Every structure is written in structure tokens, then in C-alpha cells.
């Protein structure tokens, strides 16, 4: 029996009819067409399918779409705004942190969850935050560099914002 669910994805509310045995990864990719979320190992080992669920990064391959009913989800497509790419996305490009690109969405979403809580993370904090996301191109150094760069940009933007308000 299909279930009616409501998902808020990147700020847009979707009413969907889904079979209970479909994962959130499948529904995001196939029903919503948001293919930035990657389907990798499918058993929670690689992190390619990372999405942010109610503020916390999770493996969307280990979540049934019906379990996400009523929850708020951010995928990689939700990061850029009309002004341009998110600082993390820009930094991944400028720092050369993207090789094949398959892990990138998940890396960036795990990093975003970290920066949402801590704008001055150590390299150890960064490594810890992305430790559930595997890169098989062996590119971790540049990924950590990019997140460090983005952290500074995010922190300076925040500082600038509060300065102009003050």
C-alpha cells in the first residue's frame, strides 16, 4: 500500500505518494529529480547519499521516504542562492577539492552541518565531520583545505552581517 507523505525539500513542500520500501535517496532522485544526491554503497558506509534532515546530516539510503514524512530536508541543490554558489561550493572549486565529484555533494552537506554549528573548526574537527563520507579519488587534503577556506568566508560574512546591523 502506498503512503501519502509530505517532504519539505530545499524550502519547497512536496506531497508525494510512495511505496514504503523506497528509500529517501530514491524518492529524492527519481520522484523529485534532484540527482545531486548520489546513490553509492547503499548501506551507510560511503556517505554519497548524505542529506541534511532537520539540521543533521544523515545517510538518505538508510532512511525510508515514509520515515521522512513531515520533516525538512536540504540537498546539495538547496545550497546555492540567486547570488551564486554557497561558500563551500565555491571553495571546493577554487581549492581543487573535486576530482570525480561523486562524493562532493555529501562532503559539502556534512561540512555545512559542521559550519552551521562551528565557524572556526580545527582541521581535526573537519576531518571528524566528514569521516562518514568516503572519497575514493584520495583527495581528502584538498577537501579539508576547501572547508577551512569556506569556514573563513562564512565567518567573515556572518561578522559583516552583524556589523552592518550594529
Query: Which residue among 11, 13, 17, 56 contacts another protein (CB under 8 A)?
Result: 56
Smallest CA-to-CA distance from 39 within 30, 31, 52, 48 is with 48
Instruction: Please say which residue, 1 or 17, places its beta carbon nearer to another protein.
Output: 1
Do the bridges between strand 50-53 and strand 72-74 make them parallel or antiparallel, or are there none, so unpaired?
antiparallel
Residues 120-139 that bind another protein (CB under 8 A): 128-129, 131-133
The pattern of x and - marking residues 66 through 95 that bind another protein according to CB under 8 A reads xx-x--------------------------
What is the C-alpha separation between 98 and 142, in angstroms, rounded? 8
The yes or no reply on residue 40 touching another protein (CB under 8 A) is no
DSSP three-state, residue 67: helix
Instruction: Please say which residue, 94 or 131, places its beta carbon nearer to another protein.
Output: 131
Give the strands of the sheet with 56-59, arranged side by side: 12-18, 3-9, 72-74, 50-53, 56-59
Residues that bind another protein (CB under 8 A): 1, 3, 19-23, 42-45, 47, 50, 53, 56-59, 62-64, 66-67, 69, 110, 128-129, 131-133
Amino acid at each position: 500500500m502506498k503512503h501519502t507523505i509530505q517532504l519539505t525539500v530545499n524550502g519547497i513542500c512536496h506531497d508525494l505518494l510512495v511505496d514504503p520500501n523506497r528509500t529517501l535517496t530514491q524518492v529524492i532522485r527519481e520522484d523529485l529529480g534532484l540527482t545531486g544526491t548520489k546513490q553509492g554503497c547503499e548501506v551507510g558506509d560511503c556517505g554519497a547519499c548524505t542529506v541534511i534532515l532537520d539540521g543533521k546530516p544523515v545517510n538518505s539510503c538508510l532512511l525510508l521516504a515514509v520515515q521522512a514524512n513531515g520533516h525538512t530536508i536540504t540537498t546539495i541543490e538547496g545550497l546555492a542562492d540567486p547570488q551564486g554558489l554557497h561558500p563551500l561550493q565555491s571553495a571546493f572549486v577554487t581549492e581543487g577539492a573535486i576530482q570525480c565529484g561523486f562524493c562532493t555533494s555529501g562532503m559539502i552537506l556534512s561540512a555545512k552541518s559542521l559550519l552551521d554549528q562551528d565557524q572556526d573548526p580545527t582541521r581535526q574537527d573537519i576531518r571528524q565531520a566528514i569521516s562518514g563520507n568516503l572519497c575514493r579519488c584520495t583527495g581528502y587534503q584538498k577537501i579539508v583545505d576547501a572547508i577551512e577556506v569556506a569556514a573563513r568566508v562564512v565567518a567573515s560574512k556572518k561578522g559583516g552581517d552583524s556589523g552592518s546591523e550594529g
